[in-house]
Amino acid sequence: MKAAVSLPSFDAGGVAFVTTHWSVVLAAQGRSPAADEALEKLCRSYWPPIYSFVRREGRSVEDAQDLTQSFFARFLERRDFDAVRKEKGRLRSYLLVSLKHFLVNERHRAMSIKRGEGRPLIPLEELVARERNDPEPADLLTADRIYERRWALTVLEQVLVRLEQEYRTAGNGELFVRFKELLADESDGISQAKIASELGMTENAVKQAYHRFRQRYRELLREEIAHTVAVPGDIEDELRHLIAVLRE
Contacts of residue 180, defined as CB under 8 A and 6 or more positions apart, other chains included, come to 160, 164
Distances (CA, A) of 221 to 19, 89, 150, 156: 16, 19, 16, 7
Cβ atoms of 224 and 235 within 8 Å: the answer is: no
Cβ atoms of 127 and 68 within 8 Å: the answer is: yes
Q: Does this model's pTM top 0.95?
A: no
Contacts of residue 177, defined as CB under 8 A and 6 or more positions apart, other chains included, come to none
One digit per residue, pLDDT tens: the chain, 248 residues? 344 445 544 443 444 444 566 777 776 656 778 778 877 887 888 889 999 999 998 888 888 888 988 888 888 777 666 555 544 568 888 888 889 988 888 875 645 544 445 555 666 556 555 555 555 545 567 899 999 999 999 999 999 999 999 999 999 999 999 999 888 775 455 788 889 999 999 999 999 999 999 999 999 999 999 888 877 788 999 999 999 998 87
